[in-house]
Amino acid sequence: MAALSEYRLQRRVHFYETDAAGIVHFSTYFRYLEEAEHALWRAAGMTIAERDASIGWPRVGASFEYFRPLRFEEEFEIVIRIVEIGEKKIRYSCVLSSAGEKVAEGAMTIVCVTKRPDRPMKSTPIPANIASRFQVAT
């Protein structure tokens, strides 16, 4: 399997994602980004939250800039790209668009950590079997 650098996800706005005016709440965009991230990992043949895994992926940075609202029933596309892979972190960029118009642009950084009962999380190098499935988008 070739290493992945981006993924495109088609989506429609659900009613529960909107406010009383039918506009998507700003916080929902972060969920869209995470949904695309999980789809990217599945496309690479993995899951970001493997059951009983000894590592985890906390978010250490996330941001969005909004250009226009999304509304109930509107179809849109999420394009997530890997813009950086470090020893212990992965940074994504994300663009949401509808009908060829940019709706929002975001970014998120995740860090690989060890998960042990009764111990604090500690950053750790990304395992080679995971890092080899991804590459930085050009």
Compute the chain's Rg from CA coordinates.
16
**Which CATH number among 3.40.50.2300, 3.40.190.10, 3.10.129.10, 3.40.1030.10 corresponds to the domain 6-131?**
3.10.129.10
Q: How confident is the model at residue 2 (pLDDT cuts 50, 70, 90)?
A: confident
CA-closest candidate to residue 78, choices 101, 95, 102:
95
pLDDT tens for each residue of 73-128: 999 999 999 999 999 999 999 999 999 999 999 999 999 999 988 889 999 999 99
The predicted-structure confidence for 50-71, as pLDDT tens digits, reads as follows 888 899 999 999 999 999 999 9
The CA-atom distances, in angstroms, between 22 and each of 19, 26, 27, 46, 119 are: 5, 12, 14, 35, 44
Active site residues: 19
What is the pTM assigned to this prediction? 0.94
Beta strands in the chain (DSSP E): 6-12, 55-56, 59-66, 75-85, 89-98, 101-111, 113-114, 122-123
